[in-house]
Amino acid sequence: MKLFHYYIIGCLLLFSSSCSKDTQPPPVPVTNIMIYNGSTAFINKGSQVFIDTAWLSSRGYNDMSGNGNGVLNISSYNWVDPGPHRIGFSDTSGKTEIAEMYATLKQNNWYTFYLADSLGFYTVLMSEENMRDRPATKARIRFVHLSPDSGPVDFLINQTPVPALVNMRYKTITPFTDIDPMDNPAFRIKRTGGLPEAPALVRKAFSIYPGRSYTFIFRGYNTAQEDNPNTTFNLSAIINF
């Protein structure tokens, strides 16, 4: 990649600027990508991730190599050159491709690529994050549906559905929607059309703060795969910024 060359040039220009205050190093053209593995096939394993033909990193199930505990994670973006790229996922050996996506990435933007799996049929999904226009007094949330057999679901805060996050199906990635900051609300996922008293498929609780953006990812199966309870429904949240 070209970033190292840009870094060296930037350092030289920065050094020369000590002789002339009018000289400023040009901004380095980059874009930002995060990788999320939502496939239960990689529990306790690591899918290998490639940008074009260069190895980027390894991603296990529910892993973006950020900081977190599996329920609330901090985003971890990588810098790459803007332009057309291939994002590929391989098996744990790094030798057998299981899914890929081609995308043209814009300069100074943020993207997340998700590995999704429906009983061995893999696909890659992409979201684009606008992190420049975050509201100062509101929080923002969005929803990513990576559960192949749950059917359509609604997202509720406490017991109230969020109007923009209802009737969402597998592979849905919603835009961000603004909400009020809250202290420790309960986030619930329920099947669309179910009775109001029906239990939630999954429930998490943590505080939401102004100026931050959160991505909720619903994943896993209705029935445990290979008798592994970790493959059933689960919900994680990423603090993008």
Q: List per-residue pLDDT tens for the chain, 241 residues long.
A: 544 344 333 443 333 333 334 445 456 789 999 999 999 999 999 999 999 989 999 999 988 777 666 567 888 899 999 999 999 999 999 999 999 999 999 999 999 999 999 988 999 999 998 877 788 999 999 999 999 999 999 999 999 999 999 999 999 999 999 999 999 999 999 999 998 889 999 999 999 999 999 999 999 999 999 889 999 999 999 998 8
SS3 10: helix
CATH class of the structural domain 135-241? mainly beta
Please give the C-alpha separations between residue 102 and each of 29, 67, 95, 105, 106, in angstroms, as whole numbers.
20, 28, 19, 10, 13
Q: Where are the domains of the chain?
A: 1-129, 135-241
* Residue tagged 């990635």 (tokens): 173
Using CA atoms in the order 167, 170, 174, 179, what is the torsion angle rounded to 10 degrees? 60
pTM of this structure: 0.85
| CATH 2.60.40 is the classification of domain 1-129 | yes
CATH topology match: 1-129 vs 135-241:
yes
